[in-house]
Structure 1
Amino acid sequence: MKRFKKYVALGLCTLMFSTIVPVARANTYTDTSEVATQAVLKASDYEAFLATYENAKRPTKLVEFKIGNEQQASPMIVNDYIEGMKEGVYTQEGDRIVWTAQVEEAGLYAIELEYVAEYDRGSPIQRTFYINDEIQHSGALDVEFARTYIDNPSDIGKRDQNQNEIRPSQLEVKKLQKDFVKDSMGYYSEPYLFYLEKGMNTLTIEGVSEPMTIGKVWATPLSEKQSYQDYKTNYQDKKLAGQDTIFLDAEKANYKSTPVLYAQHDRTSPKTIPYDEDAQLLNMIGGTNWSIPGQNLVWEFEVKEAGLYTIYLKAKQNYNRDFKSSRQISIDGEVPFKEFVNWEFGYQPKWQLVELGDENGAYTLYLEPGVHELKLEANLGEVTTQTRKVQDILLQLNNLYTDIMIITGATPDRMRDYRLGTLMPELTGEMTRLAEELQAVADWMSAYSGKGQNNAALEVSARQLRKMSKDADIIPRELDFFKSNNGALANWLVKVRDQSLALDYIAIVSKEDVQLATPNATFIEQFIYGFKNFLKSFSDDYATLGTTTSQTEERPSIKVWIPTGRDQAQVLRKLIDMYFTPHYGIDVDLQLVTAGSLLPATVAGIGPDVALSMGDTEPVNYAVRDAVIDLNRFADFEEVAKRFLPERMVPLTFEDKVYALPETQNFNVMFYRTDVLEELGVQVPTTWIDVVATIPILLKNNMNFALPVSVPRADLIEAGTSTYYTMLFQNGGEIYKDNGMASNIDSEIGLESFKQWTNLFVNYALPQEYDFLTRFRTGESPIVVGNFANFNTLMVSAPEIKGLWGFSLIPGTMKADGTIDHSTPISGSDCFILKNSKNYDASWEFMKWWTSAEIQVAFGKEMESILGPSARYATANLEAFGNIPWDNAFYKVLNEQMKWGRGIEQVPGGYFTGRHINNAFRKVVTGKGDIRETLLDYVYVINQELIGKRKEFGLPVIEQY
């Protein structure tokens, strides 16, 4: 389908528009201010590559690449680096290392590497592959390689005061690994193929992010795996070994590809091994954490006698009713036969004892004496091809939606004839084709897993496409449903990629008629188990997460309140038990509370010593009420404050006193769709002048620029006022004057900034209410300013646009010296000491420990290991922020934007400022009020509140305001 601009962006209109609207300038900060994941924009699509070489040979001879002669003397060469690697080359971001190979037979090969994952910040290891100095297809870009993690040996076996097992931290280790260049999303079941010419070929590996040491590199021929029957014929003379059954506790996996694969506690059955009636034991692994294709677990086991062995898995797949979970099973790094390429686990509400075999009996594997590795890796299984088809269809449907929207707008006039059939003559044919393709996938899925509600998205979308293809005139009326159906398909992709699976144990059997234990409890056993848990629920304290009170000696003790989630509280509890109390000798009573409980508890005199995760408005709010202490009283405060951006301390300071330490930080960046902007010929804007030049181009195509919108919350980063503060700071203005006694937004700079802000909405009708994910994924708003945390949302919830977006610095203001000011508000959460505390010194030691780089990094890693990348922790500690596992290119943007952060001064009555700036905004934009008069009226109201609050707290005032 040709894009719409080929039909309408022609002739005089284009010429006239180009003379009116200036072209957006290229970004000044080429290296650090923007980054985009452009995997499908830099090279030909992999499907097109395969079609081009459809008739190419599939050679059978392995080819080994050698490090180029010119690099033999390079200091990056390492020898005997790790067991199994005699020679390797250490590569990091930006390195381009060349390997050469003499190829006897031209054809399609897979590329296989042996490597050791090195550590920098723990972000994904990515490499780009060039064959003879060319990127042959998109699959060669930003290829990801797995790391290796283990349970921290020092944590294994530890228990809390209630004798519950404490989950071990995950520790990255260096281990020699072998893997192919393959699709990290799992949309291709086989490794990517590359075409090598006969003769000398070069393979260039370019470092994109994170270091790795590469040993041998091969061009490997791919051949179809042998069947189990063929495998079995090789061992017809072998018998069962007769060794006692080998039991592997699944939760004690030797190696994991990701730290989220940690041991867990199963509460559903008393038959889960191990089990304790009174304590929570770590007795399973996986679950929803083992859901992403590519995640793998490895268990080592020792065989004493050569012979045939059978594998049993006690597994549970009660996570995805309409789909199956698939695992690739390999022994000692090799998949023995094709039946193990995609071993599927259907939905079952209870634990199942799964025998690896078929209707003819169990599969037997021949094993020699010694240590072996069993590896289970999540993949998409039989639905791989269908998932890839839907991914491709969805991209085409989103393109169609964008093309239609360019003509009709996002909300078409139902009474208008848009002549879509004339302007887009191929539209109905495309819809018919895509409807047929979607229906084919729906039919296949129904035959594969049965009709279910998850497949309804495919059928509904196909049905609507057929309806619209019959009459182009109804498409504008159906456009909103069309967008909704595309969103449903995107959600279907997320759902079908969910490969959740839990494991209790693995049994490796080599005797006939071995009877393994029944995987589930009887009705009576289950009833008794449930009744005991019910009784215990009356005595368990769910608010207190345990204390470390000494039973043998008197030690200082403090009470700490945390109002976040239970996962966060449990991680902090673990860190306290492991790293704080043993070292500092201070007991900590950690309690999980609601956010609004601190104020009444403080007034009642029953509050904590330390409050965590409080908003930026709280420290000064409590300080003016004499409820928190000034941290300047501690001799080492200045040294501790150097951990954070100076601007991050601004909202925590009042009248030269500092009342809190920052924990996290948030700020805005600018997200953009690379594919849409490339199609429109628009460059990423750098300044607000560029934005003003870009918006008409977007509007001309019925798209728009989007800024943060006002919402009913105090968080300035999410409120629409963050844009006003951005412009105010960039223009050299301040929010308050006279040491916070009065508002300064009625200054000329304040008025001009307010005019600049509101004019964007008045003149260009920027959306005042929108859903970031929906508008961005559909392309309605291909450029959106928003909190950088949206990065996690897009990575998790919008896989269909992976590689089609990026983010850059927020638009800036050009200064007289030619530099660009990218200032933007920065805020976050904080911790402080309540004045009613009986032990200030112990509380201060705790806050110093909690905000230290080491503990902030440990907390962030633990949270990400539990909840995945969506829980990435935005610590305010600068050293720790540099150790968050962001992709290197993204980190450069964040690090640059962070330096432009400006803290919002907090003053008594300051809550009126943001509230009435928003009121003034609505009156001007919606009510068409005069800009100057409206803002001045509201500044008067703001000042009256500031004066009133200062009088209430006995602070000096200036009555003239």
Structure 2
Amino acid sequence: LGSIYIEAFINFPDYSQYLNENQAPDSSGVLIEIEAELPSYKNDTSVRPVNSRSIEVTPYDTYRLLLNTFGGESWKRSGSTVYYEFSVPEDGMYCISLRALQNTRKNFSVFRRITINDTVLFEQLNEVPFDYSTDWQNIPLGGDTPYKIFLKKGVNTLGIEANNSPYYMPIEKIKKVLLDINTLSLEIKKLTGNQVDPYKEWVISDYIPDLKERLIAIADDLRVDKEVLAEINAIDGSQEIQTYQMAIDNIMFLAQDPDKVPIHLNRFSEGSGSAAQLLGNLLPLLESQPLALDKVYIHSPDTSPEETKVPFYLSMMEGIKRFINSFKPDPYQSIRAGADELEVWVNRPRQLVDLLQMMTDESFTADTGIRVKFSIMPDESKLVLANAANIQPDVALGVSTNVPYELAIRNALKDLRSYEDFDSFIQIYSPGSFLSYIINDSVYAVPETQDFWATFYRKDILNSLGIPIPKTWNEVIEILPELQRYGMNFNTPLSSGSGTKGYLLTAPYIFNQGAELYSEDGFSTGLGSDEAITAIKFMTDSFTIYGMPLTTSSFYNSFRYGSLPIGISNVETYIKLVTAAPEINGLWGLDLYPATVLPDGTQNRYATGSAQASIMFANTDKPEEGWKFLKWWMSTNTQVDFQQQLILNFGMEYLWFSANMEAFTYLPIPQEHKDVIVQQWQWLQEPVKLPGSYMEERELSNTWNKIVFDAVNPRVAIDSSIIIINREITRKMEEFGYLQNGVKVKEFKIPTIETVEEWMANAK
């Protein structure tokens, strides 16, 4: 930062005033055509060229996908600007036309701010509208009477900036109204508690005398903004205007009889059709300003660009050609890597694979001479099939955490700990992240990305209710009655998902009570211990006694609209809140996973955190090259570069939570959030896998379901599951050669966090 200047605001001149101040002859015969997908520079790297198969755009190819347009959905954030440099042959007046398409927001106008040489020349260029259209159009700035703009001979720069300022008032008003709705809803809940009986009569106006006036004031605010939108978007039928009207109708319905508001909160602040949710969904739509460009024209007033019209028969012929061509083999598709290439399959979207290929070519291959070929793996079950057919890759990335063990136990994976520098390499990881990849003293995968479980809480709601942030499960139980009195609750991971509760959700309860999943030798379950029984009992009592929600269809939505103002969730919720809930920015926070307090005062916060891993196959003929690649890929420099490139190219929606804890500290998220996540990762503990462990995972879920839904005695449910688990572990141990006729013939070592920490401490 060099200097900061504070200057008086100067109004932009009107177009007529601009013409009077810039008297110059019209240029003649000039037509400069610029391909929009080739800007000179831009201020937002996530705005990028995109492909269009329309025959109306250039360049166009019948058989190949070309990056032939610019922007679209990637160019929607207000302030994102693209610049085009061009040269004119002489001083004079010129016109500017854009070949544009806005087909994503029906009956809605998006806006762009136009600058010439970093200056807005007159007021009308501040907010240039682009209306909805299904076809590409040449749109001159100024419409039917194009603006004449004075340009000096030589190089000039055109800036086109996404601009949502025409919607500034509605955007700010929605944020205010949502806070008003939330405040009023809390006031009502403080009076009515958790009473939603439709036959119970309330005289709520005795306690909130101005309730009707406040509802009408909210509706009046929305009406003013609706009129602003209607004035901007003259065409009827806009989804945004209809959403406004639905929210107004809900609020006016409540204003007719304020005493019935408590039984109609589903139309006010709760539920998918409530005024709060309608407005919350509308907010990002108003902030978003998507527009696609094909060409930019700088031309003389007497030389307009010709409109491209494609005959129907030509469009039909192109479709037929592409259809016939679809039966031909793809000349760009190579099934296998070359003999001198390391083959890597990646279980991630194409844009991430393309970025990874580019980074590898520019850095890893350039430094080591090892060529790497990446292929997209749309279904990771193909790894098992490929291994059976002996066509597996050398390395696979983005593999789900449950896959490495199943391959490793069948001798399909390379033992990465066989490399001398493995123990020193893993210093960048949380020790507990390796436990599900270890068999005896061998490690068959390295973590690639990492999840976290933490407490999300709404600052505004909890402060209003005077409820503290719980640090332990005992404190969670203490605040539950107060939350439930207002129709709210505390969300747990067990409340979400399907009927099957996997280890990711159930194992932390076992760990935090000091129990073990298995016996010391690994040949039977550990669920029969007193600690494990205590853990399972608390896991079920949370729902049967303390009334935590059995099912939560979407914690993100419930948290956003205040019905679940606190709860435990993970990365998925975090990214949604950061990128898709602007109305509660600054109103929520993160804290550690609640601690389980043991009788001796020990506090445990163990939680799972697995996401994806990287593996190397045992049959690779390039083991040294593969290990060098894995070390390069998970190194701090590479991970930092990759996560920064993802955000720069695709936005914050692509936050990359690297398992490399050093690299994670460079992620551009608030420091207070980063501190909580790093601290929680100190408690990361993955469940150990062993032959037959899937049965324990399944039976632990079945036990929870039996106790919670069927009211089975916990001891009976656990004892029944122990028999099933031990029988399956014994069967699988015999299958893999650890037991023979019920007699132990080979030891099975259960890995622990201390095991991995010892490896790290003794690394050479």
TM over 0.5: same fold?
Answer: yes
CA contact (8 A) 1:288 1:501 kept: yes
Q: Return the alpha-carbon distance in structure 2 between the equivalents of residues 282 and 580 of structure 1.
A: 27
Q: Which amino acid aligns with 1:479?
A: L
Whether contact under 8 Å (1:317, 1:502) holds in the other structure is: yes
**Deviation of the 1:616 alpha carbon:** 1.7
> Residue 919 in 1 paired to residue 702 in 2?
yes
Cα pair distance change 1:244/1:597, threshold 3 Å: same
1:154-165 to 2 correspondences below 5 Å: none
Between Structure 1 and Structure 2, the one with more helix by share is: 2
1:487 pairs, out of 250, 255, 277, with 277
Aligned partner of 1:465 in structure 2 is: 251
Residue segments in structure 1 that go unaligned for 5+ positions in a row: 1-213, 550-554
Q: Counterparts in 2 of 1:718-729, with a 5 A limit?
A: 719=501, 722=504, 724-729=506-511
Indicate if the aligned counterparts of 1:614 and 1:829 stay in contact, CA closer than 8 A: yes
What is the deviation of 1:658?
A: 0.9
2:125 to 319, 334, 340: 340
SS of the aligned residue for 2:417 comes to helix
Equivalent in the alignment of 2:150: 366
Q: Report the 3-state secondary structure (helix = DSSP H, G, I; strand = E; otherwise coil) of the residue aligned with 2:545.
A: helix
Deviations 1:368-423 (CA, angstroms, capped at 9, x unpaired): 34544322221214332223223322332233334334455667122222433334
Q: Could you tell me whether the CA contact under 8 Å between 2:489 and 2:564 is conserved in 1? A: yes
Which residue of structure 2 aligns with residue 284 of structure 1?
Answer: 69
Tell which deviates more after alignment, 676-685 or 864-873.
864-873
Q: Aligned equivalents of 1:596 and 1:426: distance in 2?
A: 61
* CA deviation string 1:251-297 (max 9, x = no partner): 2323323221122232222x433344554433222110111222222
Tell me the distance in 1 between the aligned counterparts of 2:410 and 2:498.
22
Equivalent of 1:772, from 522, 545, 555? 555
The answer to whether the aligner puts 1:892 opposite 2:675 as a matched pair is yes
Q: State the AA in 2 paired with 1:749.
A: E
**Shift in CA distance, 541/910, structure 1 to aligned 2, threshold 3 Å:** farther
Q: Is the 8 A contact 2:448 2:658 kept in 1?
A: yes
Correspondence for 1:663 among 436, 442, 448:
448
Q: Secondary structure at the match of 1:219?
A: coil
Contact 2:148–2:301 (CA under 8 A) maintained in structure 1 = no
Residue 198 (structure 2) aligned to one of 414, 437, 442:
414
Determine the structure 1 residue equivalent to 2:657: 874
TM superposition shift of 1:785: 0.6
Q: After superposition, where does 1:678-827 map in structure 2 within 5 Å?
A: 678-709=463-494, 719=501, 722=504, 724-770=506-552, 771-813=554-596, 821-827=604-610
The equivalences for 1:298-337 within 5 A come to 298-303=83-88, 305-337=90-122
Name the SS for the 1:251 alignment partner: coil
* Equivalent-residue separation in structure 2 for 1:931 and 1:592 (angstroms): 43
Q: CA deviation at 1:503?
A: 1.5
**TM-fit CA distance, 1:679:** 0.6
Aligned with 2:423 (options 638, 650, 654): 638
In 2 relative to 1, CA 411–867 (structure 1 residues): closer, same or farther, beyond 3 Å? farther
Judging changes above 3 Å, is the alpha-carbon distance between structure 1 residues 730 and 389 closer, same or farther for their aligned structure 2 residues? same
Give the residue type in structure 1 aligned to 2:316.
F
Conserved? CA contact 1:675–1:805, under 8 Å? yes
The corresponding residue for 1:177 is: none
TM-score (norm 1): 0.71
Does residue 386 (structure 1) correspond to residue 146 (structure 2)? The answer is no
Q: Confirm whether residue 435 of structure 1 aligns to residue 224 of structure 2.
A: no
Task: Output the CA distance in 2 between the equivalents of 1:481 and 1:930.
Answer: 41
SS at match of 1:412: coil
Q: Decide whether aligned partners of structure 1 residues 808 and 332 sit closer, same or farther in structure 2, where only a CA change above 3 A counts.
A: farther
Equivalent residue, structure 1, for 2:759: none
Offset, 1:342? 1.0
User: Which secondary structure does the structure 2 equivalent of 1:728 belong to?
Assistant: helix
Q: Per-residue CA shift, 1:163-205, capped at 9, x if unaligned?
A: xxxxxxxxxxxxxxxxxxxxxxxxxxxxxxxxxxxxxxxxxxx
1:221 aligns with 2:8: yes
C-alpha separation between the residues in 1 aligned to 2:314 and 2:337? 35
Q: 2:288 aligns with which of 477, 483, 498?
A: 498
Closer, same or farther: CA 829–396 of 1 in aligned 2, 3 Å = same
For residue 382 of structure 1, what is the amino acid of its counterpart?
P
2:227 paired with 1:452: no
The 2-side partners of 1:267 and 1:465 are apart by 45
Secondary structure in 2 matching 1:828: strand
The CA distance in 2 between the partners of 1:576 and 1:907, in whole Å, is 35
Q: Residue 600 of structure 1 aligns to a residue in which SS?
A: helix
The structural deviation recorded for 1:866 is 4.8
Is the 2:219–2:252 contact (alpha carbons within 8 Å) kept by the matching residues of 1? yes
Q: Equivalent residue for 2:711?
A: 928
Does structure 2 conserve the Cα–Cα contact (< 8 Å) formed by 1:675 and 1:804? yes
Task: Report the counterpart of residue 233 of structure 1 in structure 2.
Answer: 20
Q: What is the identity, as a one-letter code, of the residue corresponding to 1:824?
A: A
Count of matched residue pairs: 735
Q: Residues 573-584 of structure 1: matches in 2 within 5 Å?
A: 573-581=357-365, 583-584=368-369
CA contact (8 A) 1:707 1:720 kept: no
The answer to whether residue 52 in structure 2 is matched with residue 266 in structure 1 is yes
Q: Is the CA contact (8 Å cut-off) linking 2:496 and 2:551 kept in structure 1?
A: no
CA deviation after TM superposition for structure 1 residue 712, in Å: 5.9
Query: Given the alignment, which residue of 351, 357, 380 partners 1:595?
Result: 380
Cα-Cα RMSD: 3.0
Q: Which amino acid aligns with 1:434?
A: I
Q: Write the distance in 2 (CA, Å) between the matches of 1:523 and 1:627.
A: 56
Describe the SS at the equivalent of 1:947: helix
Instruction: Give the Cα separation in 2 of the matches to 1:229 and 1:693.
Output: 69
Distance in 1 separating the partners of 2:711 and 2:238: 51
Aligned residue number for residue 905 of structure 1: 688
Once the two structures are superposed, residues 913-935 of structure 1 have per-residue CA deviations (whole angstroms, 9 ceiling, x without a partner) of 23222222233333333334433
Farther off after superposition, 753-762 or 221-230: 753-762
Paired with 1:363 and 1:834, the residues of 2 have a C-alpha distance of 64
Q: TM-score, normalised to structure 2's length?
A: 0.88
Q: CA deviation at 1:758?
A: 2.7
Find the partner of 1:677 among 462, 473, 482.
Answer: 462
- Which structure has the highest strand share of the two? 1
- SS of 1:789's partner is helix
Q: CA deviation at 1:586?
A: 3.3
Distance of 2:495 and 2:439 partners within structure 1:
27
Counterpart of 1:726 in 2: which secondary structure?
helix
Aligned counterpart for 2:724 among listed residues 941, 947, 953:
941
Contact map agreement 2:194 2:486 (CA 8 A) in 1: no
Q: Secondary structure at the residue paired with 2:66?
A: coil
Residue by residue over 1:494-553, the C-alpha shift from the partner in whole angstroms, topping out at 9 and shown as x without a partner, is 2222210112222222x342242434534344333333332333335599578774xxxx
CA-to-aligned-CA distance 1:450-483 (integer Å, 9 cap, x gap): 2234432222222222222222354344333432
Specify which of 184, 188, 192 is matched with residue 404 of structure 1: 188
Q: Is the 8 A contact 2:495 2:549 kept in 1?
A: no
In structure 2, relative to structure 1, the CA distance for the partners of 1:579 and 1:952 (3 Å cut) is: same
Tell me: CA distance 1:477–1:247, structure 2 relative to 1, closer, same or farther (3 Å).
same
Q: What is residue 751 of structure 2 aligned with on the other side? A: none
Partner of 1:95: none
CA–CA distance in structure 1, aligned partners of residues 193 and 158 of structure 2: 55
Distance 1:567 1:805, change over 3 A: same
**1-side partners of 2:62 and 2:688: how far apart?**
54
In 1, the alpha carbon distance for the partners of 2:197 and 2:331 equals 55
Instruction: Report if aligned partners of 1:708, 1:720 keep a CA contact under 8 Å in 2.
Output: no
| Counterpart-to-counterpart distance in 2, 1:785 and 1:727 | 13
Matches of 1:712 and 1:788, distance apart in 2: 15
Q: Which amino acid counterpart does residue 490 of structure 2 have in structure 1?
A: F
CA distance in 2, matches of 1:801, 1:250: 36
Q: Which amino acid counterpart does residue 200 of structure 2 have in structure 1? A: R
Give the gaps of 5 or more residues in structure 2: 745-764
